[in-house]
Amino acid sequence: MAISRYLESRKNIAGGVCGLAGLVLTFTGVAGPYWPVVVVGLYGAGALIAPPERPALPDFPGPSAQLDELRADYETLRGYLTEVDLSPAVGARLTELTDLLTALLDPGWATELLAEDPEGLHTLSRTVRQDLPEAVDSYVRARWWTRLTPNQEPPEQHLERQLVLLRRESENLAAALRDTESRRQETHTRYLEERGGADGLGA
């Protein structure tokens, strides 16, 4: 395999070209009786001056593929959340958050904007894959210990606050995406206005 790679390398190709030039010098009589040294020397020189091989870039998934993976992980998370026993108040907070996450992850305009916003995609990914499952799992574990040690702060209070904070973060993301769309619309309006003014001057 290593030999095959070298045969196809830039160094071997450049050395071969220079070696052929040495053979041409041999046939024209310029190299004289030292033609093997000339050919080998030219081949070596060509191999030395050839640019180094550039390794191929890693084939990382693009934004669209990342969104598809995140959407699949979110469906897994939703299945997990249905198995957790929550109080009505906390359940309502969770529904508010998941409704917003569902809207952001549904195929359409929002995901098109997310594909152009690596920071927003990272925020959404962190919520789905880390913050939300960790908040719910911490609540489940804390609730078990609360039964053994009563008169402690109810774990529902912490979870409800966490869900409010996560919803606020997701709302900020949605607002940022909306602003991006608004700026795009405003830019197009200015373009049409400037084009109309230029056309009027030309007329």
Segments of the chain scoring below 50 in pLDDT: 7
pLDDT at residue 7, rounded to an integer: 44
CA distance 199 to 203: 6
What the block records as the tokens of 113 is: 């904007």
Give per-residue pLDDT as tens, 141-160: 888 777 666 667 778 899 99
Nearest to 170 by CA among 134, 123, 202, 137: 123
Give residue limits of the domains in the chain: 2-49, 63-70+79-202
pLDDT at residue 15, rounded to an integer: 61
- The answer to whether the pTM exceeds 0.95 is no
CA–chain centroid gap for 34, Å, is 58
